[in-house]
Amino acid sequence: MKKIILFLSVSLFTFSLMAQTNFRNLAYKEALAAAKTEKKLVFIDFYTSWCGPCKMMMNNVFPMKNVGDYLNAKFVCVKIDAEKGEGPELAKRYQVKAYPTFIAITPDEKILMTKVGGTMDGNAFIGSIDRLIDPNKTPERMRQRYESGERTAALISAYAGMKMEEVYKNRQPDMAKKDEAFKIVQDYFNGLQDKERLAEENLFIYTTYTGNTTDAIAQYMIANRDRFVPAIKSDISDRIRELYRMDVLNYLSAQVPFDQEQYDIMKKGITDLGLNKDGRYTTAFRFIESYSKGDLDAFMTLCEKEYDKLNEDFQSFLMYNFANLFVNADEAVKKRAAKFIRHSFLNMDATMIVFVAQQLMQLEGKGH
């Protein structure tokens, strides 16, 4: 949830001058000339000074090595403020209506791609760009290639990625598309030899298509973490840490039903992998185990005494679902929970208060 807060906040970011992506200090015509000389395309990031997602992209996504490697190899990259200098005229020409908007053009100004909006997922971002600029990766062409039996890492990554983009294309998520994407990847994974599963080209399987530590693919990744090729071992370790973190968050906020056996396996995995050496999960474990016993009065006592001991990430996730933890509580406990939230407001930033206020309304019977 901390990432959501960062994404929505307009005021918490400053532009990074150390981005991995090489945004050059070039005017529009200079960028076209450079692209022609270097035999590249032009990537334009249309932004404004007040755009929070624009700053999120600059500080969180463009510094990613994989994003920089991809963009720098294919594009002359420039940032254009849509409200200053030549920006307004160019924004009008390219029909920019929201920010950030990303445009890919040839040196002779043929538009190859228009992409609106930011994302926290660097792999998804560059995968989307690649599909939009590569004629061999159009939806119809990829479908033909897949149905003809092609099973390369590049195709599976692109084809499943396209399905994942379609999940959130409309206001109502199409989860059938997500199921399609995961099945495409699972079938591909099942057909790989052990050596192929450990190869760098198949990293996307683990970073994008593992949902929790109980997934079959995630279980393989964890069991074989030391056997992956050196180039991706760090990425694999990061993904394993993230999956365990998300498992803890889901238990902490009761997003998943408590299962003692699965919980014990998860907790043992965290301990065995040394992920709790610094004690980051110790307090969260106490919260999860207290809530699982069903004594909400005792759980509230723990919240009052030890909430501040949770790290910021855990605090945020717990608060965003706080009211739902007390759906079956008696009125006395609900009043304690509401009082606890009101007291906690003092230490929250403005963005978090907006979301947590909704939890307060639910506890006090003023919202749904």
Catalytic positions: 51, 54
- The helix (run of H) or strand (run of E) holding residue 222 is helix 216-223
Query: Which runs of E-coded beta strand occur in the chain?
Result: 41-47, 75-81, 101-105, 111-116
CA count, 13 A, side-chain hemisphere, 138: 5
Euclidean distance between CA atoms 217 and 205, whole angstroms: 8
* Per-residue CA distances from 196 to 19, 48, 319 (Å): 32, 44, 42
Cβ proximity of 110 and 116 under 8 Å: no
Strand segments (E) across 49-146 = 75-81, 101-105, 111-116
* Cα R_g (the chain), whole angstroms: 23
The answer to whether the beta carbons of residues 67 and 26 sit under 8 Å apart is no
Considering only CA atoms, which of 69, 59, 72, 66 is closest in space to residue 19?
Answer: 59
* Pairing label, strands 101-105, 41-47: antiparallel
For residue 315, CA distances in Å to 50, 139, 277, 308, 355 come to: 28, 42, 20, 8, 13
- Gap between the Cα atoms of 260 and 289, Å rounded: 9
Q: Is 199 helix (H, G, I), strand (E, B) or coil?
A: coil
Query: Roughly what angle, to the nearest 10 degrees, separates helices 216-223 and 230-252?
Result: 130
